[in-house]
Structure 1
Amino acid sequence: MQGSPARIDQRPKLKDARMVLGFSGWMDGGDASTGTIEYLIRRFDAEKFAEIDSEGFYIYSFPGSMETSALFRPHTMIENGVVTSYEEPSNTFFCAEERGLIFFQGKEPNLRWREYADCILSVASEFGVGMICFIGSVAGVVPHTRAPRLYASISDESLRPIFQQHDVEPSDYEGPASIITYLMTRSRQRGLRMASLVSEIPAYVQGRNLKCIEALVEKLGAILGLSADFDDLRLLSVQFEKRLDDVVQKRPELAELIRKMEKDYDEEVRNVHMAELKEWFERQDIRLD
């Protein structure tokens, strides 16, 4: 791709291609985005075939304390006085050719969003991608003992039936935007379809949330029609929840808070189901009163 920061090293032959995006940074609470994309790349033996040169997309020198500034710096390692590694943010495309899947693993840019987005969308166009899907998370008042709620936002109304069919609620949000929102806006301008699938994660759980990653993988697999089992991830998710339960049992105040969240969650689910049931009766012209 001449003149572009995106470089394609190999040209896999893809049929009915789909692209899945995962980013570190915004919307990666519980490692939901990075953890999911890492799992999918490994699960489908995807191989690197393209990348975006990171130069110019990130702020390295940020004013403020060393603690704050360190968050923006590249990572280096010095062993016995010798600089052995220097790592800038990576933005890499992987491909599972037989599955028609492209995975993108990157870091949300600080600068030049349009150029960065166009790099991703140009690769999508180059390989005939029919649908792009970001996977990530948002923090919420949800207990770890219940199934994570999933929400979708879309660039095109034609995608709505797909998510309705798979019982994914549409997002409602107003506030600071991410590169994902910009990508969806830009994809629409370029005639590409893109969606965002996010899991609600418990705000009180720190670190990688395997239960949310499992929920995203399972739902994405259903939406994309991936004929694969994810039993290994399901087992890790069960073990993760058990470890959380053990911690909660030792903290009565947290246990009480979680019981309240469970009650609110169950009531909300019941209300949603009742509303859906009423809507179904009305479509069948059956009166409830």
Structure 2
Amino acid sequence: MVVPSGESLPHLRWSDTPAVSQPVLLVAFGGWNDAGDAASTAIDYLIDEWDTNEFADIDPEEFFDFTATRPEVRIDLGGTRQIEWPSNAFHAGRVPNTDIDVVLMSGIEPQLKWRTFCEHVIGVAKAVDARLIVTLGALLAEVPHSRPVSVFGTAYDEATVDALDVLPSRYEGPTGITGVLHGACREAGIRSAALWAAVPTYVPNATSPKAALALIQRTAKLIGTEIEATELKFATDSYEHQVSQLVAEDDETTDYVAQLEKRFDEEPDSFTDGASLVDEVERFLRDQD
């Protein structure tokens, strides 16, 4: 593995040299592309579940407006105050009981210098010889919390579409950091795909372990493995119960959810059809502008 020089990628900080061979690079950013914190919850779960080790991060100084994304003060066990800055870190490991190497990037969408930021992500991908980059995201959609989560994938070239059995991306309009990263992947000649999960519009601020679980299961399938994610399954049961209780407290919301459930049961294809879900993502991205 060739670690990029500090001159070419001055904001990339290496703490270790990962022992991986042609890994899949999985990426999730909190913020604009992360309804219900589903993508960031999924990637953080995989970082722990697959027993990965952090080997690099991107210095936030050049990429964040700290009046918008503020650092936080923490007090450690010894009583010492420490400042935690916005983090975009890379972890490496191997999926247990397989020969599949992975690199996982967990981060926050930066406010500044997106092209330079993505150059640093691509620099890591090249250094570890990543064979594929997959971004995870979540959107708000008219879906019921009580039914299976809809997850679909898109890719940006025909070969990847065919190889991964995902849909071609035809989106035009405002984009987040993941869209810019996929553009950088194309320029660098690295295959990339995106996975999206749908989160109910009527619980926009609640963390959705259910959507996170669906993303994890679809990710595992895409890279050729399986995962139990028992803790997230328990969290999903609790999430469904709590949301159902909240819905029951408001007659208008109860009627709305009942309509969504009826539509799901009578027209399941309208929720699972890839083309329809792509349309949902495109509307979501445009509405965020």
Range of TM-score over shorter length? 0.7 to 0.9
Change (3 A) 1:113 1:267: same
Return the offset for 1:73. Answer: 2.5
Change (3 A) 1:78 1:8: closer
Normalising by structure 1, report the TM-score. 0.82
Normalising by structure 2, report the TM-score. 0.82
Q: Return the index of the structure with the highest Cα Rg.
A: 1
Conservation of the 8 A alpha-carbon contact between 2:74 and 2:81: yes
Aligned position for 2:90:
93
Aligned position for 1:279:
none
Aligned position for 2:188:
190
Return the offset for 1:212. Answer: 0.4
Matched, 1:149 2:147: no
Return the offset for 1:184. Answer: 0.7
**1:4-43, aligned counterparts within 5 Å?**
4=9, 5-43=11-49
More displaced 10-residue stretch of structure 1: 252-261 or 187-196: 252-261
3-state SS in 1 of match to 2:268? helix
Conservation of the 8 A alpha-carbon contact between 1:144 and 1:202: yes
Aligned position for 1:48:
54
Note the alpha carbon deviations across 1:167-213, whole angstroms, 9 max, x for none.
Answer: x5556644311111111111111110111101011011131101101
Aligned position for 1:65:
none
CA distance in structure 1 between the aligned counterparts of 2:272 and 2:209, rounded to whole angstroms = 27
Conservation of the 8 A alpha-carbon contact between 2:138 and 2:198: yes
> Identity of counterpart residues, as a percentage?
28
Change (3 A) 1:241 1:91: same
CA distance in structure 2 between the aligned counterparts of 1:272 and 1:144, rounded to whole angstroms = 12
Which letter maps to 1:200?
A
CA distance in structure 2 between the aligned counterparts of 1:121 and 1:273, rounded to whole angstroms = 32
Note the alpha carbon deviations across 1:231-258, whole angstroms, 9 max, x for none.
Answer: 2322221222122223323333211110
Return the offset for 1:97. Answer: 4.0
**1:1-289, aligned counterparts within 5 Å?**
1=4, 2-3=6-7, 4=9, 5-61=11-67, 71-76=68-73, 84-97=81-94, 99-164=100-165, 173-205=171-203, 206-270=205-269
CA distance in structure 1 between the aligned counterparts of 2:271 and 2:36, rounded to whole angstroms = 26
3-state SS in 2 of match to 1:135? strand
CA distance in structure 1 between the aligned counterparts of 2:23 and 2:208, rounded to whole angstroms = 29
CA distance in structure 1 between the aligned counterparts of 2:173 and 2:104, rounded to whole angstroms = 28
CA distance in structure 1 between the aligned counterparts of 2:202 and 2:169, rounded to whole angstroms = 22
Note the alpha carbon deviations across 1:49-87, whole angstroms, 9 max, x for none.
Answer: 1111111111124xxxxxxxxx433223589xx981222
Change (3 A) 1:32 1:266: same
Conservation of the 8 A alpha-carbon contact between 2:143 and 2:271: no
Structure 1 gaps of 5+ residues are 62-70, 275-289
CA distance in structure 2 between the aligned counterparts of 1:195 and 1:133, rounded to whole angstroms = 5
CA distance in structure 2 between the aligned counterparts of 1:173 and 1:269, rounded to whole angstroms = 24
More displaced 10-residue stretch of structure 1: 220-229 or 180-189: 220-229
Aligned Cα root-mean-square deviation (Å): 2.5
CA distance in structure 1 between the aligned counterparts of 2:225 and 2:80, rounded to whole angstroms = 43
Note the alpha carbon deviations across 1:213-234, whole angstroms, 9 max, x for none.
Answer: 1110111111111243222322
Change (3 A) 1:73 1:271: closer
Return the offset for 1:29. Answer: 1.2
3-state SS in 2 of match to 1:55? helix
3-state SS in 2 of match to 1:136? strand
Aligned position for 2:281:
none
CA distance in structure 2 between the aligned counterparts of 1:241 and 1:225, rounded to whole angstroms = 29
Note the alpha carbon deviations across 1:93-150, whole angstroms, 9 max, x for none.
Answer: 0111464110001111111111110111111111111011111101111111121222
Change (3 A) 1:271 1:56: closer
Structure 2 gaps of 5+ residues are 274-289
Return the offset for 1:158. Answer: 1.4
3-state SS in 1 of match to 2:17? coil
Which letter maps to 1:84?
R
